[in-house]
Amino acid sequence: MHDRNLGARTPGNTRRAAPKNPYRLSENRLFYTWKLLEQIRGVCKVPMLAKGILTAEDAKQGLECGLDGIYISNHGGRSLDYSPSTLEVLPEIVDAVAGKVPILFDSGIRRGTDALKALALGASAVCLGRVPRWGLGAYGAPGVQRILEILQAEFVQSMAYTGRPTLASLNRSMVRTDFP
């Protein structure tokens, strides 16, 4: 049994001291701040992204904090039921980032056409969450493989339908963005 505050219990009912936190960051935080990101950036030597960016202002702040990429996500709509759709905020974030770092996009990618829309609006890449898990839950690893094949085929087909032969030929004119 492990007691988070008191260390691990060992046979004989003795306790070991909990390991020290090498990053000197609070383990009991309930929310994240830009100051925390700056602290992490100070000790992190690998590329760093922040997931959950939903405004141009946050994207700019992330760049100022040294992010190596922007990850647009509303966490599948599970965090706040009134958060904007990621597709809705993508164009303003793309404009704010102005090509300085890659933009990863998720939330709402269910079909190849969804991926096409996100890439046309400026995302560098799309991330998949629920859809591969549906395949995994239904058919295991072969289900994930099949889901990815279906999404790829839908994406290729939607590229053909729009007359766009390459990813570089995708642009905003392909997608209606005057959301209500």
Distance in angstroms (rounded) separating the CA atoms of residues 10 and 178: 61
pLDDT tens for 59-90 read 999 999 999 999 999 876 656 667 788 999 99
87: CB partners within 8 A, 6+ apart: 108, 117, 118, 121
Distance in angstroms (rounded) separating the CA atoms of residues 103 and 51: 10
CA 118 to chain centre: 13
Q: Give catalytic status of residue 2 as yes or no.
A: no
Please state the domain extents for the chain: 29-174
- Candidates 164, 71, 118, 26; CA nearest to 63 is 71
Given the residues 60, 75, 100, 111, the one annotated as active site:
75
Model confidence at 33, in pLDDT bands (50, 70, 90)?
confident
What stretches of 16-173 adopt beta strand conformation (E)? Answer: 49-53, 69-72, 103-105, 125-126
Q: Which CATH architecture has domain 29-174?
A: Alpha-Beta Barrel (3.20)
Report whether pLDDT(166) > 70.
yes
Report whether pLDDT(11) > 70.
no
Inter-residue contact 62 to 33 (CB < 8 Å): no
Report whether pLDDT(2) > 70.
no
